[in-house]
Amino acid sequence: MNVEMVWSAALTVGIAIMSWWLTSRNKEIDAIKTEAQRVSILVNRTREEMAKEYVTKAEVHADINRVLDRLERLDEKLDRLMENKHASN
């Protein structure tokens, strides 16, 4: 056996091992990419669900303003009632 045949066989085995290793790494990378896409979809769905359950600042301000307007009108009515009661006495 000459040195060239041994060197050729060693390179062939080395390249085969490296190819096998790269292929297995590629499969792992693909699995990680798939998992990342799945997690991304789940995060997006969670955001959508959160949006259904919680109100925005604008909605809260609008509701508070409606309540404050009602209280203001009730206060005005009470003032008129007190004035009418005072005027009749």
pTM: 0.44
Structure tokens at 37: 């896409």
Alpha helices, DSSP H, located in 3-53: 3-53
Cα angle 18, 23, 25; round to 5: 95
> What is the mean predicted confidence (pLDDT) over 47-71?
89
Residue-wise pLDDT for 10-54, tens only, equals: 999 999 999 999 988 999 999 999 999 999 999 988 888 877 778
**Residue 77 Cα distances to 6, 25, 83, 86, angstroms:** 105, 77, 10, 14
Q: Under DSSP, is residue 35 helix (H, G, I), strand (E, B) or coil?
A: helix
